[in-house]
Amino acid sequence: MSHSRDERRAELVLALVALVSVSVLGLITVFVFKEGLPAFREMGLWQFITGHRWSPSQNAFGIFPMLVGTFMVTLGALAIGMPLGLGCAVYMSEFSGPRSAALLKHMVELMAGIPSVVFGFVGLTVIVPFIRTYLGGPGFSVLASSIVLGFMILPTMVSVSYDALRAVPQAYRDNMLALGATTWQTVRMVVLPSAKSGILAAAILATGRAIGETMAVIMVAGNATAVPESVLDPVRTLTSNIALEMGYSAGLHRQALFATGIVLFVIVTLLNLIARAAIRGGSAK
Amino acid sequence: METYRSQDFGDKAEKIRVEKFNLYYGNFHALKDIDAVIVENAITAVIGPSGCGKSTFLRSINRMNDTVEGVSTTGRILLDGEDIYRPDVDVTWLRSKVGMVFQRPVVFPLSVFDNVACAPRLQGTTDRAELVDIVERSLDAVGLWDQLKHKLKEPALSLSLGDQQKLCIARAISVEPEVILFDEPCSALDPVNTLKIEELMWGLREHYTIVIVTHNMQQAARVSDYTMFMLDGRLIEYGPTSSIFTKPQDPRTEKYITGKLV
Ligand SMILES: Nc1ncnc2c1ncn2[C@@H]1O[C@H](COP(=O)(O)OP(=O)(O)OP(=O)(O)O)[C@@H](O)[C@H]1O
Ligand SMILES: [Mg+2]
């Protein structure tokens, strides 16, 4: 009897906790939209998104350079992180023994726990000077940000695509091997095609992570509000824009930063929806 | 005791010779001193209770046990007189000579065509016309060509289970192996499809050396020329199927085929 009362009390408390978490998330969303939407009304959504000039002192708020910056940095991060991450996952799942796979998995999980400021610090002291010395430019650049982010998305890329590869039935591999396939042929012809929706999901989740990352990027990007013309130019991303200026903003400036947040919110939500569709598409087969 | 006598094979030629073959999964002794000759153009059945080592024995012939961690072997298995366990043997070459059909039909999530063509592609065949030719020949050999010739682009997973198993057989023979190993190929199928696969194997017998593991004693009696009875990792008795089933020499064989040993 007291058993079922305990049970009911536990259920109530947990329901309350769930309700609080969900409503806080809801409130944040409402708050961001409430604060940011007036900026769209003030200067027009189109003007805000396509405007080339971001100059708070002159009330010019165009986020086009930051959109391009986010796009370039994210693409660069994927170009680095995807092949590395997928290669690592394929090695762990198909080539290494189960013991070294477990070890690698632990290391990747550890890597996920490294604070982003540490990545930024390493980028600042190693990658930025390297680029400045050997490739030219200020060093603070699209390239530096892409490299740092490329490594930061590795854990997501590795663990999600590793899970996708492990979900491929062992019987596929056995049948390929029994036909005289090498391990690499098995991977190329059957394992990767079977896991492709999971790998796509990994890439999309990694993209979301790359877009959202702020601290490390601020430290190595240079943060200039101009459209970068080469990968060696400094760049400012959408998240950096908010983090750098929120502290001292007021009025329209503050609303424009919230509006930047709305744009980010929409982009990341879309990516998550696509990732989920990709995962569903994979498991439906 | 003597487990086979060469006169039992009549004029059939030796294809595989197993000599004092032992296999260990780590410390577990799964195959014990197996000696046997398997002949061409015949169907050899392997029967015995669950866990006696039938699959392990079959997988030794195409070295699929190599993919299991901690496996070690002693003794030899000769294919056309060549020891397949010599270190310089290329297992991918061996497996293209010795095909295998598994218990559950496993078709890849690809089209019917690609499911068959993937095997010759592994061997480096890229010429489209040649692949089309191979696919037609292989599907024809398993009796699927007329039914599927206009459906080559459809996903193979949409076929019935019985047809999927036939497709797996077509895939196995597409690279023109000399030996085909069947590990309980009908255990996932209904009686009608079981009979169809048995008929198919009987037809393939003319061109290949066939070894089939089965739990089904009627099946062994129906399709095989020779039968091996295994127990606890040992080959207990081996001879023409008719004599194994009518006058078994070993009391343990008799107990098993009369259903008193499971
Ligand atoms: N990968 C493995 N690791 C360790 N032991 C194994 C492994 N595979 C099989 N064995 C053991 O080897 C013995 C023989 O197994 P095998 O699968 O060859 O039997 P089987 O005769 O085919 O049985 P069944 O009729 O159930 O298929 C069993 O005792 C089994 O537990
Ligand atoms: Mg078995």
Which residues of chain A have a CB within 8 Å of the CB of B122? Answer: 176, 179-181, 185, 189
Q: A13-42 pLDDT, tens per residue?
A: 999 999 999 999 999 999 999 999 999 988
Q: Which CATH class is domain B5-106+179-257?
A: alpha beta
Q: Which fold has domain A63-284?
A: MetI-like fold (1.10.3720)
What the block records as the tokens of A82 is: 């995807």
The mean of the pLDDT values for chain A is: 92
Chain B within 8 Å of A179 (Cβ-Cβ)?
Answer: yes
A171 has a pLDDT exceeding 90: yes
CA of B69 to the centre of ligand 2 (A): 18
Q: What is the DSSP letter of B22?
A: E
Separation in Å, CA of A182 to nearest CA in chain B: 7
At residue B93 the predicted structure's pLDDT band, cuts being 50, 70 and 90, is very high
Q: Which of A75, A83, A231 is nearest to A154 (CA)?
A: A83
- Which ligand minimizes its atom distance to the CA of B183? 2
- Which ligand minimizes its atom distance to the CA of B49? 1
Sheet holding B209-213, edge to edge: B98-101, B179-183, B209-213, B43-47, B226-231, B234-240
pLDDT of residue A271: 86
Query: Hey, whose CA ends up nearest to atom 9 of ligand 1?
Result: B56
Domain ranges in chain A?
2-37, 63-284
Measured in whole angstroms, how far is the alpha carbon of residue A260 from the centre of its chain? 17
Q: Which residues pair with B238 in a beta bridge?
A: B228
What the block records as the tokens of A152 is: 């930061």
Q: What is the DSSP letter of A126?
A: I
CA of B55 to the centre of ligand 2 (A): 4
- Which ligand minimizes its atom distance to the CA of B230? 1
B72 lines ligand 1 (CB under 6 A): no
**Chain A / chain B CB contacts < 8 angstroms:** 60
pLDDT of residue B261: 65
Mean pLDDT over B89-100 rounds to 94
Q: Which atom of ligand 1 is nearest to the CA of B53?
A: 18
pLDDT of residue B113: 95
B60 lines ligand 1 (CB under 6 A): no
Q: A220-233 pLDDT, tens per residue?
A: 999 999 999 999 99
pLDDT of residue A215: 92
B30 lines ligand 1 (CB under 6 A): yes
Q: Which residues pair with B78 in a beta bridge?
A: B17, B83
Chain length of chain B = 262
Please count the other Cβ atoms lying within 10 Å of the Cβ belonging to residue A230.
12
Domain ranges in chain B?
5-106+179-257
Residue B106 and residue A174: Cβ atoms within 8 Å?
Answer: yes
Mean pLDDT over A190-208 rounds to 91
Q: A37-92 pLDDT, tens per residue?
A: 999 988 899 999 999 999 999 989 999 999 999 999 999 999 999 999 999 999 99
